[in-house]
Structures are given as structure tokens and as C-alpha cells.
Amino acid sequence: MGIKELSHAAERKAFSTAIDGFLKHIKKKDYADRSQAYVKLVDTAATFWKSVDKDKMEGVKKALSNPDNRWVKFINRVIDETDPHYAKTMLLNLGYEAFFRGTKMIRANRIKYGCNIPWLILFDPTMACNMHCVGCWSGTYGHKSNLSFEDMDKIVTQGKELGVYLYMMTGGEPTVRMKDIFRLAEKHNDCFFGLYSNSTLITDELAEKVRQLGNITFMLSLEGTPDTNDERRGEGHYAKVMKAMDILREHGIVFGTSVCYTRDNIEAVTSDDFFRLLEKKGARFGFYFHLMPVGNNAVPELMPTVEQRKYIINRIRYVRSDKCDFGFFPMDFQNDGEYVGGCIAGGRNYFHINSNGDAEPCVFIHFSDSNIKDKSILEMLQSPLFMEYRKGQPFNRNQLRPCPMLENPQLLRKMVHDTGAHQTNLESPESVEHLCAKCDDYAAKWAPAAEEVWREETHKPKAYVNYSEEHVEHPELAAFQTEANVSDAARKDPSLAAYRSDSDVTGQKVFDSSLNNNEQGLKKEA
């Protein structure tokens, strides 16, 4: 064992000892006393993360010292419900390995290699699935391809060398490959794995094995009421999710949900009743995904309207605010771009490897120019397509329009053409022109609304932003409405008059003006 390995082992041991002391201290349900234990744990963590912002750390400690704080109550509830061994392993692998040690390695390697290095890698063990959900993007791949155990082991082994200790899996249904996933989690017991699952194969036996390992969680697909859920996912699915939640909760496993919101279900998946149900069942976090029109059989008409998207932005932020008391923390993949600096794909904070081994910038972007079977993880991140992502990020200064497909489709067209990336849906290939044509009208209609919402908010500067120093602006956005890729219907829509004007809200001048206004606002606050 080399010096670096010895240092890592010693540091992990010290962190493990600190967690043992913390967990022992909080066994009693003396919540005032617990708050002091939380503060001590933050102080311990600061010794590992020496570059931490001291003011932010003091703010965290102040919040944690108040047992009546909403999020302190939330943490207490999670601790009371979670198996102690599972809790310790999760804190070690997510807290120490991924957040503290991993983040330092990732930031150093971004400089060393001159490319994006992600915080997590998403991959598909299989495309096999026992369901046929309406509008499912993954169904466009077909159901025959699989990553071998050796492929998955290569992904994790090489990812760890770059500082990546968090891995998520989708598919297909990943629990179809649970034997290999358990083997992977056992071998890489310093990593944490999250599985997006339809719940149908979760049993007591599976949950007990997960509890013993301590480094696997689940995000269960659920979309509102029994009617709205089963309409898209098949009769009886809702009941199976309820049963899976009960099993995971009873085994002391932290788990969350995965929600695809559409024009038809958006109210059902954001209602008070839905959030109370998730809280009661034991789900403590959830990822909300905007329906993407991916695949030849996609149904663009299911995409939310402009007003619905404005609604869900406000609704999710309200649920996370101190004005609300739900014991559940939702995250919106499309509308929380501001908190992560815009698009996180292309390896900036994550990328996707499909079940055929193709490296895709995003789970929704089915184009690739490299494959895990003949490339390393680093070579994938340095591929022409991923380097174009790096060069272009952020794709829009308004981070309510983060995506180069959904909100800025002309940019994905250009990147695919410039790099020669190939389509990865082998059974039903979809050209970039066909894909992006389904986004043009949506992008045009969302732009002015996004600008309105963006300007109403105060935007704080980021302490760390992993953008290329060679960042390229996008003047072509200003001319987007005059390009041939916009439909005649969008051109004639009177509601888009402002979008087509000289003061085009997507133009570079408005970008600059918006940025200057934000900077002036920040100076006034200071």
C-alpha cells in the first residue's frame, strides 16, 4: 500500500471514529442535545474540508443549533427512522468519500486533465424492463442490451481514480441485475449507489441485503394518484410502489422518489396530499423530471405548458421553504439549474453510460462518440462531444433555460454536427433534427416566461464554478427566432412578438444587461 493509500485509510478511519461518536451521542431522543452533536460533527467535517467557506459554515452551525428549525426536525426524523449501520455507511461513503475527499480530487483533476470531471456517473446495467410506460425515453433503446459486470466494475474503478464515489443506475429496470449490483457494491464498499427503480422487484430479502451493505438507495418511480400513476405506468403499479416503500422503511433504508411531471399529472404530483403521502410512507427526497420528447414515439403534447412550468418552479421552492413543514425534500432537475450553475451534463457534474456502453452527455441526449468497451472514463470525458459541452457551458445565462436540447435546441444540433456524434437508439434511430424540431416551439414559448421569472429573483454568486476558462458565448441565440429551425406556427404566434423583437430576451445584449443588473443588485445587498 502506497503513501496515498495509507493516508486515505487513516483519514477514513478518523472520520469513521467521529461518526461512531456522533451516532452514539444521538441515540437518545434528546433533540436539544442532538443539535449540539450536529454542530460538533460540522466542526469535525471542517477539519477534513480545509477550504470551506467559514461564513457559510457558521450559518450551517447556527441553523443546526436550533432544535425547532424545520430542517433540524427533518434530520432528526431521518436519523430516528434509519438503521444505524446503514446510516454510518451512508455518512462515510457519501459524506467523506464523495463529498469531502472526492470533491477535492475532482477539482484537482479538472485542472490536471483540462476536461470535465463529474461528481456522479449514471449508467444502465440493462435495458431489460418488466413494464411499458407511456412516453418512456429508455424504451427507445430496445430491451436486449446489457453492461457486463466487468464493464460496470471498470466504470466504478476508473471513476474512483478521478474522485467519483457516487454512482446512479437506471435502465431498463436495474433491479433485474440485482445479483451483479450487490457484487459491485460489495467490491466497492467505499462508494454509494442509487437505483432508479419501478419498485416491482423489491422484496424483504432484497431490502435486508441492502441494509447489510449500507451503500445502496432507491429512487422509486411514482406519479401522483393511483389513476394518474397507473394511466402511464400500468394497472396495479401504484399498489406495488406502496408495498416497496413499506418494505424499505421497515428495514431502515433511506429512499426517495423519481417523478416525471407532464401536462396531465403536474397537479397530482405536487399536491399537498401527494407530499403528505410520501412523508407518511418514509420517502425523504425526490427528483422531479420534466418530460422530455426523446424518441420517435415520444408524445410532445405531454410536455408541460408555460404556465405549468412557472407553477412547478414556485411550488417546489415553496415546499423547500421554511413556510412549509412537509418531511420531504424535492429537487427539480430542469428548474434547479441556478443552484448547480446550469446544465450539469457532458461530465460537468454527471454523464450517462447506456447499456450498450455508449457515453452520452445526458440520460436524455442519445448521441455519443465513445464507448466504455474500448475507451477509458477519462478518454470519454476528453472526447470531442464532451469537450464541446465543456466549451459551451453554461448554454444560457438564464439558468431556467439550461438544456442545449429542450430550451436551446439549436446548440445541440450544432454540437452533434460539429463532432460527428452518432445516434445511440439502435432499434429506432432518431436524428438530431427530428429530436430538436420537437423542442423548437417549446423553447420559443418558454424563453420570455423564463426571462420574466429570472429577473424577478436575486442571484447569488457561486463560490466555485467549474466552467472552462475558454467559455464561449452564444451570439447565435439572439438570432434563434430568425433561423429556419423554428416552425411556422411559432413565427405566427402573437404571444411571441417580444421574443422576435430587437430586444429579444434570448439575445446576447439582454444576457449582458441581465448579468449587470444582477451584479448591481448584489452590490446593493452588500
Residue 130 is predicted with a pLDDT of 64
Do 58 and 131 reside in the same domain of the chain? Answer: no
Residue 308: HSE in the Cβ half-sphere, 13 Å Cα cutoff: 17
Residue 124 is predicted with a pLDDT of 97
Do 40 and 133 reside in the same domain of the chain? Answer: no
Asked whether residue 209 carries a pLDDT value surpassing 90, the answer given is yes
- Dist. CA 502–CA 386, nearest whole Å: 33
Residue 31 is predicted with a pLDDT of 80
Do 75 and 216 reside in the same domain of the chain? Answer: no
Asked whether residue 478 carries a pLDDT value surpassing 70, the answer given is no
Do 185 and 326 reside in the same domain of the chain? Answer: yes
Task: Show the cell assigned to 321.
Answer: 421553504
The chain-wide mean pLDDT, for the chain, equals 86
Q: What's 321's domain CATH number?
A: 3.20.20.70
Within a domain: residue 123?
yes
Do 299 and 446 reside in the same domain of the chain? Answer: no
Question: Cα–Cα distances in Å, from 164 out to 175, 380, 460?
Answer: 22, 14, 27
Residues 6+ apart with CB under 8 A from 90: 82, 192, 214, 215, 217, 254
- What one-letter code names the amino acid at 525? E
Q: Using alpha carbons only, what angle is made at residue 5 by residues 3 and 8, rounded to the nearest 5 degrees?
A: 110
Report which of residues 452 and 36 the model is more confident about. 452
Asked whether residue 246 carries a pLDDT value surpassing 80, the answer given is yes
Within a domain: residue 509?
yes
Dihedral (CA of 246, 251, 254, 258) sign: negative
Task: Show the cell assigned to 25.
Answer: 451521542
Strand 216-221 and strand 256-261: the pairing is parallel
DSSP conformational letter for 175: G
476 pLDDT band, cuts 50/70/90, is very low
Within a domain: residue 106?
no
Mean pLDDT along residues 154-159: 99
Which range, of 137-141, 157-161, 345-349, averages the lowest pLDDT? 137-141
295 pLDDT band, cuts 50/70/90, is very high
Which of 312, 335, 358 finishes a domain? 335
Asked whether residue 189 carries a pLDDT value surpassing 70, the answer given is yes
Would you say 459 and 525 are in contact if contact means Cβ atoms under 8 Å apart? no
Domain housing 142: 116-335
Task: Show the cell assigned to 304.
Answer: 408541460
**Domain total of the chain:** 3
Would you say 367 and 422 are in contact if contact means Cβ atoms under 8 Å apart? yes
Residue 479 is predicted with a pLDDT of 37
Residue 463 is predicted with a pLDDT of 63
Q: Using alpha carbons only, what angle is made at residue 338 by residues 443 and 435, rounded to the nearest 5 degrees?
A: 30
Mean pLDDT along residues 14-35: 84
Within a domain: residue 394?
no
485 pLDDT band, cuts 50/70/90, is very low
Residue with cell 457551458: 393
- Dist. CA 384–CA 413, nearest whole Å: 14
Do 183 and 241 reside in the same domain of the chain? Answer: yes
Q: What percent of the chain has pLDDT over 90?
A: 68
By C-alpha distance, which of 348, 355, 330, 428 is closest to 389?
348
Q: What percent of the chain has pLDDT over 70?
A: 84
Do 48 and 187 reside in the same domain of the chain? Answer: no
Task: Show the cell assigned to 192.
Answer: 454509494
Do 157 and 225 reside in the same domain of the chain? Answer: yes
Asked whether residue 215 carries a pLDDT value surpassing 70, the answer given is yes
Within a domain: residue 219?
yes
502 pLDDT band, cuts 50/70/90, is very low
Do 177 and 278 reside in the same domain of the chain? Answer: yes
The 10s digit of each residue's pLDDT in 93-137 is 999 999 999 999 999 999 999 999 999 999 999 988 765 555 554
Residue 30 is predicted with a pLDDT of 79
Residue 18 is predicted with a pLDDT of 87
Within a domain: residue 513?
yes
Which of 335, 362, 386 finishes a domain? 335
Mean pLDDT along residues 10-37: 85
Mean pLDDT along residues 394-417: 97
Residue 208 is predicted with a pLDDT of 99
523 pLDDT band, cuts 50/70/90, is very low
6 pLDDT band, cuts 50/70/90, is confident
Give me the helix-helix angle, 178-187 and 204-213, nearest 10°. Answer: 10
By C-alpha distance, which of 351, 324, 349, 293 is closest to 465?
349
Asked whether residue 391 carries a pLDDT value surpassing 60, the answer given is yes
Which of 310, 335, 360 finishes a domain? 335
Mean pLDDT along residues 19-26: 86
Do 326 and 225 reside in the same domain of the chain? Answer: yes
Residue 515 is predicted with a pLDDT of 35
- Dist. CA 35–CA 129, nearest whole Å: 44
- What one-letter code names the amino acid at 452? E
Would you say 257 and 220 are in contact if contact means Cβ atoms under 8 Å apart? yes
Do 301 and 159 reside in the same domain of the chain? Answer: yes
- Dist. CA 124–CA 119, nearest whole Å: 17
Residues 6+ apart with CB under 8 A from 456: none
Mean pLDDT along residues 142-146: 70
26 pLDDT band, cuts 50/70/90, is confident
Within a domain: residue 349?
no
Report which of residues 418 and 4 the model is more confident about. 418
Within a domain: residue 203?
yes
Mean pLDDT along residues 231-246: 88
Do 215 and 162 reside in the same domain of the chain? Answer: yes
Mean pLDDT along residues 42-67: 82
Which range, of 48-62, 171-185, 316-330, 374-388, averages the lowest pLDDT? 48-62
Residue with cell 436486449: 144
- Dist. CA 461–CA 365, nearest whole Å: 29
Asked whether residue 511 carries a pLDDT value surpassing 60, the answer given is no
